[in-house]
Amino acid sequence: MYVTSPIGIFEHSEIRLPHFVEAETAKHSHFSTAEAGHRMFCEGDDAIYIYEILEGVVRTSKLLFDGRRQILSFGYPGDLVGLSHDCFYHSDCEAVCDVKLRVHHKNACHASIESEPEFAKKLLKFAASEVNNMQEHFIMLGRKSATEKVASFLLTLLDRVGEPKNCKTCFDLPMCRSDIADFLGLTIETISRTLTKLREDGVIELPKKHRVHVCNVPGLRALAERA
Amino acid sequence: MYVTSPIGIFEHSEIRLPHFVEAETAKHSHFSTAEAGHRMFCEGDDAIYIYEILEGVVRTSKLLFDGRRQILSFGYPGDLVGLSHDCFYHSDCEAVCDVKLRVHHKNACHASIESEPEFAKKLLKFAASEVNNMQEHFIMLGRKSATEKVASFLLTLLDRVGEPKNCKTCFDLPMCRSDIADFLGLTIETISRTLTKLREDGVIELPKKHRVHVCNVPGLRALAERA
DNA sequence: ATTCGTTCTTGATGTCGATCAACCAGATCC
DNA sequence: GGATCTGGTTGATCGACATCAAGAACGAAT
């Protein structure tokens, strides 16, 4: 679920959810879509569904009383959003672009846990790895400079959805600058300036506002830990 | 496990671990102690044990290549540290003061999960609530000012371990200023200055360096969200 | 009590990123 | 085409917190 993940949890491991949930929850799950900008759930809503992202990207966020926003995660295909320890969602969730979803009933998951201890262990493993990814993001928010934050963010996307083209690695940046800013604890101006700086230094190209070509991966990696 | 938690997970809920683990893991768990400053485990070590804090406080942290540190959590009595999704710890863990622990073998927990679906559900609930607490801390690190951070931190400790005395609420601050700084993404100087400011404003008293008396709880609460 | 070492506090100065403000590029509409 | 709107860029200035530096408070050892 967290873009901060170095690898997609479900994509590259044996715990890809559909496979395990299928048996018990298929009859209780359904497919759905959401248009760009659509709010899937709000903080405080009854947490009845667990959403599995099939296509597109969603963002989860929390608001402060005065409107300040922190984006908690970007959900990419293979990710889960909407897990709750009580019966309420603790964040908002919106579609960043058009998304395709698989919607699982919470109760069906609970049933699976009881009938299949293996499933429980894997869900637990998923949760623990979420915790781990979030811990990485703690360092990001608490101790990294603006350049390091942006470089780290681009690297995470590169590792997760980058496609090699010639000698470059390319990917879309579906979220707007203010989403990135609220994810990294910065302002849109700082995001813009930092991206410009990376472009001027020849580390990346920005053919379109929402498209990134990384020309110098080692350079970007160095900036992520050093600048 | 996270001081960011408004209430102790195990303290106030039905999922206090010893009760549930007892049956299956008692024979595999043992009691232990660690002195102030002792390192319980390092990032990268084999994650064989899950530690339950019985007395005292521990800190988990991650280091950046150049020594910058982020404290991920302070573990108070009732908390668990050392859960891992693979077989390795992903943070360091040290005793902030002398601590008493109960040490559970990872394998015993796994066995319990298989034999007791209820246990699995509760452990999962615990993990999900960890995620939730961490999300709160994201806002803290990404979007709050120094004053808001310190006030929020003190409030969390107050809610968790505060003892009413006369018209004040009192608690120990077992960690040093640099621990607080690395937890909140600030410097020791800023922590010190902010505490001094709170003292000068009559919100708190600092009878000793590691002791806090909160004189004006609503005032502190206001600062946590407003300043 | 004296010394030493560590941690904390306080002050002076610096800097990174925020804020304020103007402009620009696309998209949509007529 | 021009008008308008939204999101992104760029520049000038400001301020919150970091950094650098000196001292104070406290405990431990002698």
Q: Note whether B123 contacts A121, CB cutoff 8 Å.
A: no
- B28 and B121 inside one domain: yes
How are beta strands B49-55 and B92-95 bridged, if at all? unpaired
| Residue B218 token pair | 């609503």
pLDDT score for B8: 31
Torsion of CA A142, B6, A75, A69, to 10 degrees: -60
Give the one of B65, B72, B123 whose C-beta lies nearest to A124's C-beta. Answer: B123
Looking at every residue in chain A, the average pLDDT score rounds to: 87
The 8-class DSSP code of residue A26 comes to G
| Residues with pLDDT less than 70, chain B | 1-27, 226-227
How are beta strands A211-214 and A168-172 bridged, if at all? antiparallel
Q: Note whether B124 contacts A123, CB cutoff 8 Å.
A: yes
- A125 and A165 inside one domain: no
Angle between helices B117-143 and B146-161 (to 10 degrees): 150
Among B80, B112, B140, identify where a domain stops. Answer: B140
Residue A74's CB is within 10 A of a number of other CB atoms, namely: 26
The CB-side HSE value for B175 (13 A sphere, CA atoms) comes to: 25
Among A110, A125, A140, identify where a domain stops. Answer: A140
User: For A16-38, what is the mean pLDDT?
Assistant: 68
- A73 and A171 inside one domain: no
Select, from the ranges A53-67, A96-110, A124-138, A213-227, the one with the highest average predicted confidence (pLDDT).
Answer: A53-67
A227 neighbors A194 (Cβ within 8 angstroms): no
Q: Note whether B185 contacts A135, CB cutoff 8 Å.
A: no
pLDDT score for B126: 81
| Residue A58 token pair | 């969603």
**Residue B207 CA to nucleotide D24 C1', Å?**
16
Give the one of B83, B113, B134 whose C-beta lies nearest to A134's C-beta. Answer: B134
Q: Note whether A70 contacts B129, CB cutoff 8 Å.
A: no
Percent of chain A scored above 70 by pLDDT?
87
Which contiguous run of DSSP H or E holds residue B31? strand B30-34
Chain B residues lying within 8 Å of A89, measured CB to CB: none
| Parent domain of A170 | 144-226
pLDDT band of residue A27 (cuts 50, 70, 90) is: low
pLDDT score for A190: 98
Least reliable range by pLDDT among A142-146, A177-181, A223-227, B183-187: A223-227
- A112 and A153 inside one domain: no
Edge-to-edge strands of the sheet including B30-34? Answer: B30-34, B99-105, B49-55, B80-81
Residue B3: inside a domain: no
The minimum CA-CA distance between B27 and chain A, rounded to whole Å, is 21
Can you give the CATH number for the domain in which A211 is found? 1.10.10.10
Q: What is the largest CA-CA distance in chain B?
A: 57
Residue-wise over A124-159: b if at least 16 C-beta within 10 A, else e?
bbbbbbbbbbbbbbbbbbbbbebbbbbbbbbbbbbb
B206 neighbors B194 (Cβ within 8 angstroms): no
**Residue B190 CA to nucleotide C17 C1', Å?**
17
Chain A residues lying within 8 Å of B224, measured CB to CB: none
Cα–Cα distance measured from residue B181 to residue B61, given in angstroms and rounded to the nearest whole number: 12
- A45 and A121 inside one domain: yes
- B130 and B155 inside one domain: no
pLDDT digit string, tens, across residues A134-160: 999 999 999 999 999 999 999 999 999
Cα–Cα distance measured from residue A137 to residue A155, given in angstroms and rounded to the nearest whole number: 13
pLDDT band of residue A106 (cuts 50, 70, 90) is: confident
Cα–Cα distance measured from residue B4 to residue A173, given in angstroms and rounded to the nearest whole number: 32
**In the predicted structure, residue A42 carries a pLDDT above the cut 90:** yes
**In the predicted structure, residue A128 carries a pLDDT above the cut 50:** yes
**In the predicted structure, residue A17 carries a pLDDT above the cut 50:** no
- B43 and B136 inside one domain: yes
- A115 and A34 inside one domain: yes
- B111 and B24 inside one domain: yes
| Residue B110 token pair | 């796994």
A112 neighbors A21 (Cβ within 8 angstroms): yes
β-bridge mates for residue A30, sequence order: A103
Torsion of CA A72, A73, A74, A78, to 10 degrees: -150
- A109 and A161 inside one domain: no
Strands (E), chain A: 30-34, 39-41, 49-55, 58-63, 69-75, 80-81, 92-95, 99-105, 163-165, 168-172, 204-208, 211-214
Residue A181: inside a domain: yes
| Residue A91 token pair | 């964040």
pLDDT digit string, tens, across residues B13-47: 333 444 444 444 556 788 999 999 999 999 999 99
pLDDT score for B62: 97
Residue B8: inside a domain: no
User: For A154-180, what is the mean pLDDT?
Assistant: 96
Can you give the CATH number for the domain in which B117 is found? 2.60.120.10
The Cα-based distances of A22 to A9, A100, A101, A102, A115 in angstroms read 18, 17, 15, 11, 13
- B26 and B91 inside one domain: yes
pLDDT band of residue A20 (cuts 50, 70, 90) is: very low
Chain A residues lying within 8 Å of B225, measured CB to CB: 64-65
Terminal Cα distance for chain A, rounded: 27
Among B89, B105, B140, identify where a domain stops. Answer: B140
- B135 and B155 inside one domain: no
Cα–Cα distance measured from residue A1 to residue A129, given in angstroms and rounded to the nearest whole number: 10
How many domains does chain B fold into? 2
* DSSP-derived secondary structure for B102-171: EEEEHHHHHHHHHH-HHHHHHHHHHHHHHHHHHHHHHHHHHH--HHHHHHHHHHHHHHHH-EEETTEEEE
pLDDT score for B127: 84
The Cα-based distances of B152 to B21, B131, B138, B223, B226 in angstroms read 33, 18, 13, 8, 11
